[in-house]
A and B are shown apart, each in its own frame.
Chain A
Amino acid sequence: MDERKGIITSAAEGTRGILEPFWVTLRQLFHKPITEEYPEFKRALPERARGRIVLTRSPDGEERCVACQLCSAVCPVSCISMQSAVREDGRRYAGWFRINFGRCIFCGLCEEACPTLAIQLTNDFEMSADDPMQLVHEKDTLTVDHGGRHPDYDFYRHAGVAVRREPGSHEDEDAPVNPKSNFP
């Protein structure tokens, strides 16, 4: 009780404080709910919303992933596992690649770590399943046939498999320095 007010005033205010919420809730009862009903109404997601993870392909249709294990190493919940393999032409790829979406927290760190822009998060978040094992996805369900967010990027034109290319032939690569000459 506040001393500055009389007992009558504070009692009246207290009673009002108890009764007013009832009026408020009663009023809401006759309002139209503001709920957006999900399966019928889907909100547009922000462009960078993080959902299902996919493995993308470079413009020439090859798998981008070079099984460098960086995504697996950075993943805070360790839900990515893979085995690396090497093709005859020296290009590395993932023999098998597994993501356990039951554990994934969709933090996007794997996407940040990936040097080849292979692993990417998409806007699709509707991936519930009856059985936890159905949330473990293998390479065949992870791989898509497009380049995802960066359709034009091709890792092998920037780096990798150096022995098969002339020095300095990668994109954005400076011409090799001539060790025989000191002149710039």
Chain B
Amino acid sequence: MTMWFAGFAVLLVKMALVLGVALTGAAYLVLVERKLLGRMQLRYGPNRVGPFGLLQPLADGVKMILKEDLVPQGADRFLFMMVPAVLPLTTLLAFAVVPFGTELTIMGQQVPMVITDLDVGVLFVLSLSSVGVYSLALGGWASNSKYSLLGAVRGVGQMISYELPLGLSLVPVIMLAGSMSLVDIVNAQADMPFIVYQPVAYVLFVLSALVEVKRTPFDLAEAENELQAGFHMEYSGMRFALFFLGEYLNMIFLGAFAALLFLGGWHGPVLPPFAWLLIKTAIMPILLIWIRASLPRLRPDQMMRLCWVWLAPLALLNILATGAVMLLKG
């Protein structure tokens, strides 16, 4: 029984750690994005709250909580109030399979540095990402506003398009590692990260991830200048903040996912494993911010064409090529 309680306590500590890092990361990613975008546009970005604006996320949080929580007339009340939770929920759930270090030995017990090492980890993540789109579709529908609805329709169309290339781009990695567990995949990259063997898959993954997070150039669902704010237009206060949080958590998660699948996870010289994972995780969000500063928005049909005509067949060819090489090498 003591063993059980100890295990439970360790689990709780791990969950608190992951949640803390992810949520703080998301809050500060907002700041980083605003700062970086600002500097890229010859502005300063937030610099008033605290030194260099470092307390801005706190101020934002307080502001969001104090804002009035509006529910538009004619909205589907229950759905409208429920769905903002879906996106952060699914993303946080996905963090459960992210391993963040090698096994530690505490008091003679092996403690794996992951909340749960599912043997279908990659699929688990993909399924959660496909569920996250409900918050967008239902939120847009429940708002009962034409812009929200258009945003929802676009978002769903986008989701249908990116799912296939996203999933297919990961297949070669699974083939190379011979497992769908993220821990095994990272362990398989101990001497060489998979990006060396699979540069095409990495590019495909980054492009599909770009479509998944719904940020410029693929922010069709919220397109500020055509749809005001698209699916979350009618949301205010904390409910809006949940959508926002979900988006930034998703960015961080995709960063972590890319780091685990392609960049060798926590493996790296000198620095401790956790630090390496954080550094590699940060690559993707910063890339996404840079892309947002640089590229204009695509039209929906261009996005679909990119996904279906280029990414998906390319991913299939990549699988074929990987399989052929693996077969030849035995």
Contact = CB atoms under 8 A, between A and B. Distances in A.
Interface string A19-32: 00110111011010
A33 B42 CA distance: 4
B41 interface: yes
A34 B44 CA distance: 8
A174 interface: no
Contacts of B294: 21-22, 24-25
Contacts of A163: none
B44 A37 contact: yes
A29 B38 CA distance: 9
Interface in B291-324: 291, 293-295
Interface in B30-59: 36, 38-44
B42 A31 contact: yes
Contact of B43 (A18, A21, A24, A35): A35
Interface in A108-149: none
Q: How large is the interface on B (under 10, 10 to 19, 20 to 34, 35 or more residues)?
A: 10 to 19
A89 B282 CA distance: 78
A28 B41 contact: yes
Contacts of B36: 29
A18 B3 CA distance: 57
B248 to A, nearest CB: 20
B68 to A, nearest CB: 13
Contacts of B124: none
A33 B44 contact: yes
A29 B44 contact: no
A28 B295 contact: no
Given A22-B290, A25-B290, A35 B295 contact: no
Contacts of B291: 22
Best-buried of A31, A33, A34 by chain B (most CB within 10 Å):
A33
B283 to A, nearest CB: 15
A132 to B, nearest CB: 13
A34 B290 CA distance: 20
B311 to A, nearest CB: 15
A26 B290 CA distance: 8
B56 to A, nearest CB: 16
Contacts of A26: 40, 290
A31 B43 CA distance: 10
Contacts of B44: 33, 35, 37
A37 B53 CA distance: 14
Given A18-B295, A22-B290, A28 B40 contact: yes
Interface string A44-68: 0000000000000000000000000
A28 B290 contact: no
Contacts of B38: 33
Contacts of A34: 42-43
A26 B294 CA distance: 9
A21 B44 CA distance: 20
Contacts of A21: 294-295
Best-buried of A25, A28, A31, A33 by chain B (most CB within 10 Å):
A25
Contacts of A28: 39-42
A162 to B, nearest CB: 55
B291 to A, nearest CB: 8
Interface in B213-257: none
21 contacts: A18-B295, A22-B290, A25-B40, A25-B290, A25-B293, A25-B294, A26-B40, A26-B290, A28-B40, A28-B41, A28-B42, A29-B36, A29-B39, A33-B39, A33-B43, A33-B44, A34-B42, A35-B42, A35-B43, A35-B44, A37-B44
Given A22-B291, A28-B40, A34-B42, 11 more contacts: A18-B295, A21-B295, A25-B293, A28-B41, A28-B42, A33-B38, A33-B42, A33-B44, A34-B43, A35-B44, A37-B44
Interface of B: 36, 38-44, 290-291, 293-295
Interface of A: 18, 21-22, 24-26, 28-29, 31, 33-35, 37
**Sorted from nearest, which 10 A-B pairs have the closest CB atoms?**
A21-B294, A25-B40, A25-B293, A25-B294, A22-B294, A34-B42, A33-B42, A33-B44, A28-B40, A29-B39
